[in-house]
Amino acid sequence: AQKVTQAQTEISVVEKEDVTLDCVYETRDTTYYLFWYKQPPSGELVFLIRRNSFDEQNEISGRYSWNFQKSTSSFNFTITASQVVDSAVYFCALPMNYGGSQGNLIFGKGTKLSVKP
């Protein structure tokens, strides 16, 4: 079965600290994709990144970076020099890869990040 675990329910940091959000996934597939979404206090879900399992290079986008490690089935998300605007719930997601439900996203429970000034 496919599963996504975000063990950190809530994290609180002070502005300018670096913070890493953990994501551990389970899948039997050799080829798969992983996603991160952000849900700010306003409630919408915002796409952050998509990663193919073939590509294990770390991804960097401004203050955001993602570390993908197939050996540990992890796809962790780091925010460098956090800002108050980063306060949100962050979700890691894995698409189902079989049958009629192929493509349906399985979400982790999310990590609520609070960045205090």
**8 near another protein, rule: CB under 8 A:** no
What backbone phi and psi angles, to 5 degrees, belong to 31? -120, 130
**116 near another protein, rule: CB under 8 A:** no
- Judged by DSSP in three states, 86 sits in helix
**47 near another protein, rule: CB under 8 A:** yes
Q: How many chain residues interact with another protein (CB under 8 A)?
A: 25
Question: Which token pair is 70?
Answer: 């197939």
> Do 93 and 107 form a contact (C-beta atoms < 8 A)?
yes
Binding site for another protein (CB under 8 A): 32-33, 35, 37, 43-47, 50, 52, 91, 95-97, 100-105, 107-110
